[in-house]
Amino acid sequence: MNFASDNHYGASPKILEAVAAIGQAPAPAYGNDPVTARVTKQLGEIFEREVAVYPVINGTTANALSLATLVPPHGAILCHAEAHIAVDECGAPEFFTHGAKLVPIDGADAKLTPAAIEAALKHFQKGFVHHAQPAAISLTQATELGTVYAPDELTAISEVARAHGLKLHVDGARFANALVGLGCTPAELAWKSGVDVLSFGATKNGALAAEAVIFFDPKDAADFEYRRKKSGHLLSKMRFVSAQLDAYLDGDHWLANARHANTQAQRLAQGLARVKDVSVAHPVQANAVFARMPSALAAKLRKAGAVFYDWGAPEDGTVLARLMLSFATPEEDVAKLIEAAG
Amino acid sequence: MNFASDNHYGASPKILEAVAAIGQAPAPAYGNDPVTARVTKQLGEIFEREVAVYPVINGTTANALSLATLVPPHGAILCHAEAHIAVDECGAPEFFTHGAKLVPIDGADAKLTPAAIEAALKHFQKGFVHHAQPAAISLTQATELGTVYAPDELTAISEVARAHGLKLHVDGARFANALVGLGCTPAELAWKSGVDVLSFGATKNGALAAEAVIFFDPKDAADFEYRRKKSGHLLSKMRFVSAQLDAYLDGDHWLANARHANTQAQRLAQGLARVKDVSVAHPVQANAVFARMPSALAAKLRKAGAVFYDWGAPEDGTVLARLMLSFATPEEDVAKLIEAAG
Amino acid sequence: MNFASDNHYGASPKILEAVAAIGQAPAPAYGNDPVTARVTKQLGEIFEREVAVYPVINGTTANALSLATLVPPHGAILCHAEAHIAVDECGAPEFFTHGAKLVPIDGADAKLTPAAIEAALKHFQKGFVHHAQPAAISLTQATELGTVYAPDELTAISEVARAHGLKLHVDGARFANALVGLGCTPAELAWKSGVDVLSFGATKNGALAAEAVIFFDPKDAADFEYRRKKSGHLLSKMRFVSAQLDAYLDGDHWLANARHANTQAQRLAQGLARVKDVSVAHPVQANAVFARMPSALAAKLRKAGAVFYDWGAPEDGTVLARLMLSFATPEEDVAKLIEAAG
Amino acid sequence: MNFASDNHYGASPKILEAVAAIGQAPAPAYGNDPVTARVTKQLGEIFEREVAVYPVINGTTANALSLATLVPPHGAILCHAEAHIAVDECGAPEFFTHGAKLVPIDGADAKLTPAAIEAALKHFQKGFVHHAQPAAISLTQATELGTVYAPDELTAISEVARAHGLKLHVDGARFANALVGLGCTPAELAWKSGVDVLSFGATKNGALAAEAVIFFDPKDAADFEYRRKKSGHLLSKMRFVSAQLDAYLDGDHWLANARHANTQAQRLAQGLARVKDVSVAHPVQANAVFARMPSALAAKLRKAGAVFYDWGAPEDGTVLARLMLSFATPEEDVAKLIEAAG
């Protein structure tokens, strides 16, 4: 019963087969191969637009390289205080940007709002050489608390971005889960809502190590390729990463995987909500369930074999359990957890 | 007939099977899994010593992270002028070290000598704050020109390193090829000859994207783990990289692969040496053949289907062709190339 | 009537004379001169301890070099959300530390408290490679709002620092003003209260461009000299900076200058407190007065010739005026301002 | 008898008076003062063109900030192997550029030639992501060996720069000495010969700590101001630096100072050339004399009170003595040295 993280699961059979199918025959290195080209084409079709696509191995890299391309060393990046880029990347954005500043902003359910962004921007005077210069907003979709931004929310944030000359970056490590939860089109959740660059995740949703950085205006990509190379993220046998993305997109595998995870999250949330003294702490809109429960119950669940993290320190004899559902979480594990809790 | 690079070939069936065998079951993330632990154990046995091992995805990363761990921002790294780290990594060592200086040193067959290193060191005054401070020597094994350093050559260089307080790093992207060419033990080609840190390559020799940074004194590893994370090189599903290394080492797969490549290199070199107007330019000690040939012959070979790079610009109607042999180069391709040249 | 900043005033006659007295005769460059040595000796006596002293040209540099010496690239620096290093240095600490993270902490009167620091530290798991690792606390003395930390407050903070393995840095751009305000000894306001490194300011208090970084344990200085050189802050004719510090310390010139500024601040605060609709917003403990006043009054004062900044945006028809007093603010300017306000 | 360096001398009386004249009256900080504006105006007139001017404190900073503005982190800077930026700045250019690569080029008399630059460029493939991308040429005027580039030599180099899309930077720490030596106009030695950015030195020629970065096309200055601030090189009381430059330019003080130094260099060179077993090693075109002499003679001169550096290691019982002449070297010291040598 592993609910620790969607990155604890391995890779889907379909994706592993695609990797194996590459075999040992030679092909041009460093992404100049047909598989990589096909991924770019596929993403262009899915997002209904010409896009620049760069495969990388994980989300931290996708985020840090995106932001370094958009933000100068003297720039600032506005993000939620609980954003993965702010909390869980050991300062990767600061390293890749050569010292830009992350500005943490509070907000319910790990979400930024236009008002909170505007308030944060008031502390920075444009063109004032003593202040880091805001250059981008980065938000997480789905968020670190399992919530999502609907297209109209994205649009409202992107309007603030435009008004202040900022680029809008989305950390989409769980983009598929957000998309399935919202039921809109990929384009609506991206450039149609004003998103400039997307870290399009696959690793947490069935790949073994693959994400794609997508620039919706290829001109924004600027010197991305040099940054990717200089940071060691240009693979010689890139087609092994591209093959994962290829299989991930093929036949809506990505959406099926995310749908499974989200469905299990709904089942789990509904099951836990019926348990005495358990409450679900944030809207369940993707593949995470945050459940406040007595510490004793958490201990009992762990004894029954459940693996999950506490979010923050215990409070008044309760813990906030984070339960992540993945593309591969067995349905019976969800049932077993609910039963163990009941 | 692909002789362009050993990184043009895909991955060996054995390694692809090992990756597929990981499957989709959950396991602890970020390298805290049994496969990664097993790789460390295996490398300890192979190198006859307790070692600190960090899997990464490619050689540029292995080199840059190693050097950044050994060399401060105000440090200097002595290397051959044709070293991969100096020429082909777009400044990755400078990025990861936060601005350390690479000192290019000339030498025949892409090899450093103690005398050349001593001469270069004369330009740096120890403790003189205006000079970058030499902190490491980095050499490539096998070299960019397909030659190797024998243990006594390594030992002589490491004595210079010790005398000046420098660490010795080896870029072993083709370590297996060097080892097979020399016929010594891994330990003799590493710590027994004074090597402190080794970028132990697998990608060019059958893996899809896997290398291991090996510190022969674990204390030298210092803050390597933070650097790996901060640069985006800590994978959540690290076991997919470790599985490659695991299969690579298992049953001497790595040595068999390298032996195949080196054997083909010898065959090719011998075959080409018999061709009129063709001469082999550097000792063939690993899996590369550098052949000087008339430009017309190079054109003819390409017309016959051979893929390879010219090394440098044409001279007097000749080119220096670099012909790389890999773990998977078909024997018949070598025969066909010789025949086409004859 | 310039109350805009204490750095708007020029340099004191005594300090300018000392600079001129250096003349054109030759002396060893880069700080290897007798004046620089004398400054180190003087500061050792003033702080009652052997210290390592490095003259630099301004406070941003003193802070950024200090922090870069104490904090690795994967480190974090805890500071007040209004700290100069966080707000007004365009990301200099991030640049010099190669991407360390500043953690902004709220607190009344721009002051950190042990409880607030402990709360912030809860978000960082020690040894957890995904989190930036807290390595230093930096506080400002006197603060950006003109308040000071008494020795017992410093001691309490330094105990938190010790307990968590953090170094304590003090941005003392207005250290003299704090010292005079508190009436304790320099040592009590430094290492006796657990301070490890001090940016000892002189520029705002009579010098033209001079500060000293003081390490109370010379071992902490580590590679400071290389960092200073590499960042362009080692002056060839360093004795012109040292001469400023020499004169600054000589005959308690620094304390006299600060006393003048603080005395004027008290006079101004008392005068303004008596004005209708004006309130003093923070304790006046050094050389700054923050006065909330009707916008109309602020406009009237400016019309009368007063120069000062508003702190933040207007609220309900009032502004928060920041009035800085310097070593050279004429007494009559203070009187005139009070009169104009009355 | 100090011939160690032109930076060993203090500052000229005229410049010290100008600094003192600033006094303690308030003025806008950070360069928004009339003195700084006047320097920009003066330099525009001297160079016969609208220029962007940024005062800084020393040559390392002027060079490193210039180059960081022109060259991206993945860029390369071509310079002579003996260039100050390559040898004597502890890697400052690498730090400020965030890891760009310096490409050392050999050449007689410390001078670059178009042919040598073209040869070096052959190693870099444009747009090839594995190679650092050449972005600027930097040359030193006068060079580290006391030679100069005439306008036609500069023009030839700048044509190479243009042809390859590179910017041309000049480290003019001794620009005045070169100008006086050549007898051309400042414009001819700058933009009229294709120079894009000039580190215009004053410190070595009479100032206490002042240089000006001059962009001959203000658009090239880009984000220079943020870089200057972020690296701690924006002084609050900038007018004390500007006042030095103001006095330096006023009444051709800079040219008179350089003329004195150069004249003494000629006298010294002529005197030494007549001494048995002494030969002058490089053309004396500015304010440096390199004299090869028996080690015994060097020892004798030092015993007589002469201070100077050996350049490189002794060879065959001789040393290469570097003798620097400054704006303030007494004529009698030159006579005494010649006499002591004779």
pLDDT tens per residue, range D18-30: 999 999 999 999 9
Please list every residue in chain C whose beta carbon sits closer than 8 Å to the beta carbon of residue A87: 123, 130-131
CB–CB of B122 and D313 under 8 A? yes
The predicted structure's pLDDT at residue A185: 98
pLDDT single digits (tens) B148-160: 999 999 999 999 9
Residue C339: per-residue pLDDT: 96
pLDDT at B337: 97
Say whether residue C162 is in contact with chain B using an 8 A CB cutoff: no
pLDDT above 90 covers what percent of chain D? 99
**pTM, whole model, 2 decimals?**
0.97
Tell me which of A100-104, B300-304, B313-317, C72-76 is least confident.
Answer: B313-317
> What DSSP state is assigned to residue B2?
B
CA atoms of C133 and C100, how far apart (whole Å)? 9
Q: What is the pLDDT of residue C342?
A: 85
A-to-C residue pairs, Cβ atoms closer than 8 angstroms: 59
The per-residue pLDDT of chain C, averaged, comes to 97
Q: What's the confidence (pLDDT) of residue B342?
A: 85
* Residue among D73, D88, D90 whose CB faces B95 most closely: D73
Beta strands in D28-117 (DSSP E): 52-56, 75-80, 101-105
> A91–C102: do the CB atoms touch at under 8 Å?
no
Are A129 and D223 inside 8 Å of each other by CB? no
Residue A211: per-residue pLDDT? 98
Report how far residue D110's alpha carbon sits from residue D117's, in angstroms, rounded to the nearest whole number.
13
Q: Mean pLDDT over residues B283-289, rounded?
A: 98
A66-93: average pLDDT = 98
Interchain proximity D10–C16, CB inside 8 Å: no
Strands (DSSP E) along B226-302, which ranges?
279-280, 288-294
- CA atoms within 13 A of residue C189's CA, in its CB half-sphere: 28
Does the pLDDT value for residue A340 go beyond 90? yes
What pLDDT score was predicted for residue C132?
Answer: 97
Torsion of CA D65, D67, D71, D77, to 10 degrees: -150
**Token representation of residue D197:** 């950015």
Give the pLDDT mean for B55-60.
98
In this prediction, residues C36-47 reach a mean pLDDT of: 98
Across the interface, whether the CB atoms of C87 and A131 are under 8 A apart is answered: yes
Q: Which residue has the tokens 């992270």?
A: B65
d(CA D291, CA D308): 11
Q: How many other C-beta atoms can be found within 10 angstroms of the C-beta atom of residue B310?
A: 13
pLDDT tens-place string over residues D76-99: 999 999 999 999 999 999 999 999
Chains that touch C (3 or more CB pairs under 8 A): A, B, D
Residue B20 near chain A (CB below 8 Å):
yes
Smallest Cα distance from B108 to chain C, Å: 34
- What pLDDT, in 10s, does the model give residues A259-307? 999 999 999 999 999 999 999 999 999 999 999 999 999 999 999 999 9
Residues C63 and C92: their CA atoms lie apart, in Å, by 9
Residue range D163-178: mean pLDDT, rounded: 98
pLDDT at site A274: 96
Structure token pair of residue A3: 């609910």
Whether the per-residue pLDDT at B6 is higher than 90: the answer is: yes
> Is B58 an 8 Å CB contact of chain A?
yes
B207-246 pLDDT per residue, tens: 999 999 999 999 999 999 999 999 999 999 999 999 999 9
Distance of residue A274 Cα from the nearest chain C Cα, in angstroms: 31
Binned at pLDDT 50, 70 and 90, residue D342 comes out as: confident
Tally Cβ neighbours within 10 Å of residue C340.
17
**Section C238-258 average pLDDT:** 98
pLDDT tens figures, B172-200: 999 999 999 999 999 999 999 999 999 99
Is the Cβ of D247 closer than 8 Å to some Cβ of chain C?
A: no
The two tokens of residue B65 are 């992270």
Report the pLDDT value the prediction gives residue A342, as an integer from 0 to 100: 85
Task: Calculate what percentage of chain D has a pLDDT beyond 70.
Answer: 100
Gap between the Cα atoms of B260 and B255, Å rounded: 9
- A279 forms bridges with which residues in the sheet? A292
Q: How far is CA C257 from CA C173, C203, C251, C270, in A?
A: 14, 11, 11, 20
Q: Residue B333: its pLDDT value, please?
A: 97
